[in-house]
Structure 1
Amino acid sequence: MLFTAVHVTGESMLPVLRSGDWLLVRRGAGIRPGDVVVARRPHGLIVKRAFRHTDDGWWLESDNQSAPGRRDSWDFGAVPEADIVGRVVLRYWPRPSARFPAPPG
C-alpha cells in the first residue's frame, strides 16, 4: 500500500497538528529536514518533524517541546531509516490541509 492513514494523539505537534487530526502518509516517500513524518517506536507510531539526518537515522523532534508526555529524539536518539513509515502529505480531517508550516520559534 502506497498510502496509509494515521490518527494524531497528544499535543506534541501543536500548533500545526492537534489531537484528533487524521493524516494521509505516503510510505517510502523521500524525506527532507522540516517534513512531518510518521515513525515506528516500541511504544507505537509517532508523528514528528524530521530535523536532520545522522549516521544513525533521522533526528525527529516535537514542535511543542513542553507537551505533557512528549517523546522524541531527545529521549530515544535518532530513528533508524527502516523505522520511518513515511512522510505526511496531508491532513484530511477535520481541517483539510496539505501545508505544514515550519515549527514555531
Structure 2
Amino acid sequence: MQEQLHDRGQEKGREQHGLLRMGLAEVYNPSMQPSLYPGDQLVVRYGVPVRPGDVVVLRHPFRQDLLIVKRAVERRDGGWWVMGDNPDVENDSREFGVVPDELVVARAWVRVRPLPGPGARGQRSMAGLLSWAVSAVRPVRSRSRARGVARAAGVEPTAGAASAERPASRRLRAR
C-alpha cells in the first residue's frame, strides 16, 4: 500500500525566487496512523534541518514522482532511515533502505484535520465546530515513538536523538 502525499506547493520555484519556504500537502494513505490520517493537511517547511523523530515529506526512492510522508528515525551513511508510525504498513526504509538527503523535500510543521462527518457543513453546531477547531490544528512534533519503531526494526538511536525526541514540557518537568 503506497503512502501518497499531494504537495500543493512549487518547491523549486520557492527555492529559486527566495520566497517563503512553506507549502501545503495532503495525506492520502494510512502509513502514519495514529499520528496522521488520510485527509489531514500538512503545513510543511522546505529547506529546514531534519532531526530524528521529525515527520518529513520525501520523494519515494523508486518512484521519485511520488511524494510520501514518513518519520525520520536515524541518520545513516547516505541519508535517512525513515519509517511510518503504522506498524502494519511497511512502505518505508524496511522496504527501500536509506533515503538520500536530496530526496527529503520538507519537514512537516503543522497538521490540520478535516472537518468530520459527511458534507452537511451547514448543519454543524457551534459547539461542534469549536471542538473541531481546538483539536484540528496541532504542531507535528518529534515523537518518542520513533525510538520504539527503530528498536523494533533493529535500529538503536543515539543518546542525543533520545533527548531531542522528548517534548520540551517533559524536559522542563524533569529538571
TM-score (normalised: structure 2): 0.55
Shift of 1:5: 1.2
73, 91, 94: which is aligned to 2:111?
Answer: 91
Q: Which protein is richer in helix relative to its size?
A: 2
Q: Tell me: higher relative CO, structure 1 or 2? Use CA pairs within 8 A at least 6 residues apart.
A: 1
Q: Which moved more, 1:14-23 or 1:36-45?
A: 36-45
1:34–1:49 CA contact under 8 A, matched in 2: yes
- Among residues 70, 75, 86, which one is paired with 2:95 in the alignment? 75
Q: Is the 8 A contact 1:16 1:101 kept in 2?
A: no
Measured after TM superposition, the shift of residue 100 of structure 1 is 3.2
CA RMSD of superposed structures (Å): 1.6
Normalized per residue, the structure richer in strand is 1
In structure 2, runs of 5+ residues without a counterpart are 1-13, 15-20, 115-135, 149-175
Ranges in structure 1 where 5+ consecutive residues have no aligned partner: none
Q: Which has the larger radius of gyration?
A: 2
Give the whole-Å Cα distance in 2 for the aligned partners of 1:35 and 1:7.
17
User: CA–CA distance in 2 between the matches of 1:3 and 1:93?
Assistant: 18
With 85-94 and 50-59 compared, the bigger mean Cα shift is at 85-94
Runs (4+) of structure 1 moved beyond 6 Å?
none
Q: Report % sequence identity.
A: 41
SS at match of 2:138: coil
Q: How many residues align?
A: 103
